[in-house]
Amino acid sequence: MQFDTPATTNPIDNLKVVGQPIHRIDGQLKTTGRAMYAYEWHDPNMRYAYGYPVGSAIAKGRITSMDVSAAKRSPGVLAVVTTLDIGERKKGKFNTAKLFGGDEVQHYHQAIAVVVAETFEQARRSRAGQGRLCRGKGCIRPR
């Protein structure tokens, strides 16, 4: 967008709508904690599992293998999905980083696996140290 012509009269600069404290329809819900965000639904007919991401311990490189056996044996764990389980995926038009999948590590703490367990505490516990239990090549440690 080139800002090379006068703005003249337009809805934003007139401050008729933008900039005014308009009562929003979500206002009462958000200020009373009743607005439901994506992962806050508790449907009584469903059982929920909890996922916790595993972050890469290296900043750059390629993963050749991952040992998630300890995580899989951890109490309450239902599944461990690693980036190697998912093949490399095509990036969308507006993505900069690669999507979860494939063997490339592009940045420190990049999600390279997700642990799924029956409770949040079990998922969080089972991923401890997992980021280090992967072998790679051309690995660059962050400093």
Q: Which residues are near another protein by CB under 8 A?
A: 21-24, 26-37, 40, 42, 57, 75, 119-122, 124-125, 128-129, 131-132, 142-143
Residue 108, C-beta contacts closer than 8 angstroms, at least 6 positions apart: 55, 56, 58, 59, 142
| Nearer to another protein (CB atom), residue 4 or residue 26 | 26
| Nearer to another protein (CB atom), residue 75 or residue 138 | 75
Structure token pair of residue 73: 């044996």
Shortest Å, Cβ 47 to another protein: 13
| Nearer to another protein (CB atom), residue 8 or residue 20 | 20
CA distances from 16 to 25, 26, 36, 41 (A): 18, 20, 30, 37
